[in-house]
Amino acid sequence: MGTPPTLESLAMQALVRSHSVSICDTLEDVPWLLFPRLFREAYAGGHAEVLKAMVQAWPFPCLLLGAVTRSPDLEALKAALDGLDLLLAQKDRPRRWKLQVLDLRSVSSEMRAQGCPSLAGSSPPGPLSPRPPATCDARRTEERPLTIVLDLTIQDGPQGAFQAYVLRWARKRRGRVQLRCEKLQILSGCTSRVRKALRPVRLDSIQELVVDCFWRRETMKTFARQLSQMQNLRVLHFSKMSAQVYTSRALNALYSRKYAAHLGRLQCLRELHVHDVFFLHGKLPAILGSLTALKTLSLSSCPLQEDDLKFLSGCACARQLQRLRLRSVCLGRFSPEPLRALLEQAAGTLETLALEDCGLTDAQLPAILPALRQCSQLGFFSFYGNPISLGSLCTLLSHTARLARFSQGIYPPPLESFYFQDDGVLGSIHLERFLLMLGPLLQAWRASSTPSQRFQICADFCHRRRKCQMVSLGPRGSWVLTVEGLPGLSALPA
């Protein structure tokens, strides 16, 4: 037999089944600590009228509606927003009606695994200002606009019913309701669709932005004005405006100046991830010059000038970088001195360093190694895709393995293990040569490393598919070939 329900549970079930017009009066007598549990009971039973009344009488500053269920429920949302409409219509709100923030963001599975989150929250989310103490003037509290918090995804095709309803509701109540969005994902190249979706949103509430869609230069020019209003933006991912598509140097230079002027205003930026765009060429000083809080910088498949790297090495943010990735950036044709200076500047804070497929050769390595030795906090190092010889690779292995906090390294196969084409370009790996060279590499690694450190050779990679072939040392001392995904910079160990 199961455990019989408590009197408290029976009372809650009876209350949520009540559809009388006096439900609000009944809620006046419910202890505030029981509200979250009572709300879940009403939600589970689909009692829309009770949900509507509870939103009006909610005794906490914040209601985390998104924490109730794994998937958004449109009917529950409509009930909650109907309750807000009734609340907005009140000229004089009762003292215990304190709702300021309706948070519609879903809760991650990791948070659910740690326990059911409180519907009341600990404080208003994100950049929202804290609730004033109870002694503050009640009129000021009542006049404060109600706030809806929602993570948005703008994409082509039909919009999700949940998000569409919230945006439509908020557009009709601008001035009385604030719509805040901490995480924004744009997967559409339609300018009008993006503008319409962002019209009711407080742009200064956005803290994380992902733009992953092919954009025309004019689309980016239009959006850049909105981007510069995101004054609290912390994380920016931007991709797919390739220099291989936009080939006019004159037009690229014109648009790059316009973009850089807006990007340079994002002074709270802590993470910048840019992939396959044309507009960084010669513009890093304008974009990064005023960024004092930058901790993560990832530039992939973006044309740069040597002056960009020189600026970066002397930039104030370089002294506090924790994660740096340069991938498919042609560093081999530059002097190694700017890169050496950059590593020296970041040596005290750098935890993750990826210099991948950058054309670095034996000629640049001697200038880089002394700076690399100074990176006392470095835990992860990725150097695959660079054509260096067996001797230089053994030297690099011993240098990185000796770092005090070092835990994992990814390296290229030695240059001698490749076939060479008639024009001198590297071909595929010569398997027999490669196997012969694993012995000297392992010897160099073991001479300097500890058992807890991990050593991998990236034998082949495809950035488009985000896959690579890794040769790793197995637990029994044998070599193992695996196909793995290339991790994003934020997923790399620090």
| H-helix or E-strand spanning residue 37 | helix 35-45
Residue 185: what are its φ and ψ, rounded to 5°?
-120, 125
- Rounded average pLDDT over 126-150: 54
- Which of 417, 460, 457, 415 has its CA nearest to residue 435? 417
pLDDT tens for each residue of 302-361: 999 999 999 999 998 999 999 999 999 999 999 999 999 999 999 999 999 999 999 999
| Strand order across the beta sheet in which 177-180 lies | 62-64, 101-103, 146-149, 177-180, 201-202
Structure tokens that stand for 285 in this block: 């000083």
Structure tokens that stand for 268 in this block: 């709270």
Q: What pLDDT, on the 0 to 100 scale, is given for residue 457? A: 95
More confident residue, 444 or 17: 444
57-66, 80-89, 138-147, 405-414: which range is least confident on average? 138-147
| Residue 365: band (very low, low, confident or very high) from pLDDT cuts 50, 70, 90 | very high
Alpha helices for 173-216 (secondary structure H): 191-198
Q: What pLDDT, on the 0 to 100 scale, is given for residue 13? A: 63
Structure tokens that stand for 111 in this block: 């948070």
Q: What does the mean pLDDT of the chain come to? A: 85
End-to-end CA distance of the chain: 51
CA dist., res. 361 & res. 381, Å (int): 17
Rounded to 10°, the helix 217-227/249-263 angle is 10
Query: Could you tell me how far CA 348 lies from the centroid of its own chain?
Result: 24
Burial of 85 from C-beta contacts in 10 A (0-12 / 13-18 / 19+): middle
CA dist., res. 177 & res. 40, Å (int): 25
Q: Return the amino acid letter for 64.
A: L
Alpha helices for 4-34 (secondary structure H): 7-16, 23-27
Put simply, whether the predicted model's pTM sits higher than 0.85 gets the answer: yes
- Which of 68, 73, 66 has its CA nearest to residue 38? 68
Residues of the chain with pLDDT > 70, as a percent, come to 84
| H-helix or E-strand spanning residue 146 | strand 146-149
pLDDT tens for each residue of 43-85: 888 888 888 888 888 888 899 988 877 777 888 889 989 988 9
Query: Could you tell me how far CA 156 lies from the centroid of its own chain?
Result: 21
